[in-house]
Structure 1
Amino acid sequence: MSHPRNHDQEARIVGALERQHPDPKAFRTLSAPVWRSGALSEKDKHLIAVAIAQITRCAFCIEHHAALARKTGATRDEALAFSYLSAVLEALGSSDVSIEAGQLVTVDEAAVAGKPIADARLAFARQVFGNDLLEPGLRWLAAAAIAYAQSNEANRQLFHRQALANGQPEAALDEAYALVVVLRAGAVYAHTLHVVDAFEDAPDA
């Protein structure tokens, strides 16, 4: 049975593992450089991480990076704006996406084509992608990273091109994709907390 803990307590357990065992240390070696400011600021990296962690379904990662984003000056509204990008891209599923005059256009899947939900979904997508809380280049960059986390290569390439066209440097996109690599591993890595719990709860032989 897992122990009831708050996030700070869980983070301390993970930190102790990283000091004590070689594999967690290796994860820290992979992860730590990715969060330093570069072409993307620490704040933007942690905001993008919140969106990616929603795709990888890692509650620990969402809470962790939301807290770090807040510490670096992010607002709740900014974090939600990134989060809803993930919601849109999940809702779009396998529909074919293109961009015309700066707006998303979809060719809907057979299951929903011509139905009211397809029009409602597109309206939702356009609202979120038009949110003026996010600078356009950063919005497209985050969308490219989210698409990479979804293993949707067509969307990744589409959004990558849009990010470049809106002033994001290639280096910033490289950094965003590095976040995905770390957060994919981190989503599984966070579950080591449950492994530790299982052995702590085991009766002595």
Structure 2
Amino acid sequence: MANNYDQLPRVDFEVSLSDFKRLEAIARKMEALGFEGAYAEFQREYQRAKENSLMFIRNAAADEVDEAQKIESRQVGHSKSGYIPTGTLQGSITPQFSKGGLKVSVVPLATTEQAEQARQHAKQGRQRHFQPGKAQGVHYYGVDVEFGNSKMKAEPFMKPSGEKVAVKLDGEFEEAMRRAING
């Protein structure tokens, strides 16, 4: 099978602080017009907003991993498809953060090879936990589980978890920004 990394189901969350550039320009103008301390106040609020945003993204990632794992464990492999759950897919749901930390992509990184190894260990009465490895020329089976294939029906777990977490996060982000502005 060909590498299907680009097809992996992903749940993305991002915080954009681009509006602060406009506010920075306004604060500089206010400072130039004699409003002493306007720029310093902007810098304090921007720093708090950035800190709260980083914490928000980390929490969003943790919530998404948790919810995706719950859905995956409840529904995946309980159909008549013959799929035997090993916990490999569930344990592979991983947050990948951007360089600045204001964006996260949560993705299941289990490969068919790792799942087969886990099945063999399970048959022998041993348990093996997911450990991410190099991903050259491998098949990520989260794609098959989420979207289905010719041998199995789709059992989405990333899309429903992302939708559930996104609803929860809407109110939380607004509160995080209020805390940043109000100190």
TM-score bucket of the superposed structures, by smaller chain: 0.3 to 0.5
Q: Which has the higher contact order (CA 8 A, sep 6+)?
A: 2
- Larger Rg computed on CA atoms: 2
Per residue, is there more helix in 1 or in 2? 1
TM-score, scaled to structure 1: 0.32
